[in-house]
Amino acid sequence: MKNLCIIIPVYNEEDNLERVKQEMENFMRIASVPTEVLFVNDGSTDGSLRIIKEICGNNSNFKHINFDRNYGLSAAIKAGIDHTQTELIGYIDSDLQTDPDDFNLLLKEIKDYDLVTGVRANRKDSFIKNMSSSIANGIRRAFTHDGMDDTGCPLKIMKADKAKQIPMFKGLHRFLPAMILLQGGTIKQIPVKHYPRIAGTAKFGVFNRIIGPLTDCFAYLWMKKKYINYKVQDTSL
Query: Could you read off the pLDDT of 168-201 as tens digits, one per residue?
Result: 777 777 888 988 988 889 999 999 998 876 775 6
Mean pLDDT, the chain, as a whole number?
Answer: 85
Is 43:68 a contact under the CB 8 Å cutoff? yes
Q: Indicate the pLDDT class of residue 120, thresholds 50, 70 and 90.
A: confident
CATH number at residue 123: 3.90.550.10
- 18-26 LR contacts (CB < 8 Å, sep 24+): 18/51, 19/96, 19/198, 19/199, 20/94, 20/96, 21/55, 21/59, 21/62, 23/96, 23/100, 24/62, 24/100, 25/59, 26/100, 26/101
Instruction: State how many domains the chain has.
Output: 1
pLDDT number for residue 216: 73
Query: Could you read off the pLDDT of 52-107 as tens digits, one per residue?
Result: 999 999 999 999 999 999 999 999 999 999 999 999 999 999 999 999 999 999 99
Q: Is 63 domain-assigned?
A: yes
Q: Is 234 domain-assigned?
A: no
Q: Is 135 domain-assigned?
A: yes
Q: Is 127 domain-assigned?
A: yes
Q: Is 190 domain-assigned?
A: yes
Q: Is 233 domain-assigned?
A: no
pLDDT number for residue 212: 63
pLDDT number for residue 129: 59
Q: Is 39 domain-assigned?
A: yes
Q: Is 236 domain-assigned?
A: no
Question: Is the pLDDT confidence value at 153 over 70?
Answer: yes
Residues spanned by the domain of 49: 4-226
